[in-house]
Structure 1
Amino acid sequence: MTADTIAAPRSPRAAVRRKGPNLEKAGWLYMRISGLALIILIFGHLFVNLMVGDGIHGIDFAFVAGKFASPFWQWWDVLMLWLALIHGANGMRTIVNDYVTHAKIRRVLVWALWLSAGFLIVLGTLVVFTFDPCLGLTEDSVAWLQEVCA
């Protein structure tokens, strides 16, 4: 036997590159970009809800109804919802890929993650865009909300 016929003990393994999009790279980039966007969206959300007006004491049904009457705040909250759920599901997918060794179990868990994130995205989006402040009227809020419901 010669040194040419025996592989070196620490020879690098050749990386196999599949054709098509690099989904791991896309997921990695998404985590960084969505994380930055979420910082802006979340701190904007917290600033408006906690610092403007009466702060935490001013948050009630009428406050939420007033915010959701504006398309700007509807889209702000939906964007925050979508980015946060996809960001979280992608992070969980990474953890599942790192720690679950059985391929079928890993596939089932990743599918369950994406299905649950998709369900919550659809449900949350429906709540934001179909929110009707007139359905939750009480005697105390009728006067304030009459303008919104008219």
Structure 2
Amino acid sequence: MTNEPSLNAPRLHRQVCFAMYSASRAATAAYRPMLEELGLTYPQYLVMLVLWEEQPRSVRELGEELGLDSGTLSPLLKRLEALGLVERRRSSEDERRVEIFLTDAGAALSSDATGIPQRLADAAGLSPAELDRLRDTLGRLTAALHSSR
């Protein structure tokens, strides 16, 4: 019996899943100091990005857009509300629906965040075209894996 791994055994460095995991952790770590300047965590930043695109959004819509369940999203929204960046309101049309609105402070924060994507791109050392291709490839991969379930 030998301790040598089989030549056919999976290798960590050859796994796409590990490369994505490592890249995700590195990107989140790179974002951290930039987002600290805004007083946001990475998940809070993602919520704000969605709201800067369009508001109001229901809690359900935010969850679908971000791939988060309500147990994860609700504490995020409570914290953003405590920071004075968003406001939760019951829909006048459907009391069961909670809509999320940006406050004036939340809307103003978007101008402070405008440079963050470029700063991350600079840190990554990839051209805009390379980043676009990477994002598109990851989007296709995500869609394919979701549809294969």
TM range (shorter): under 0.3
Length-normalised TM-score, structure 1 = 0.27
- Which has more helix, going by share of residues? 1
Bigger radius of gyration, 1 or 2? Answer: 1
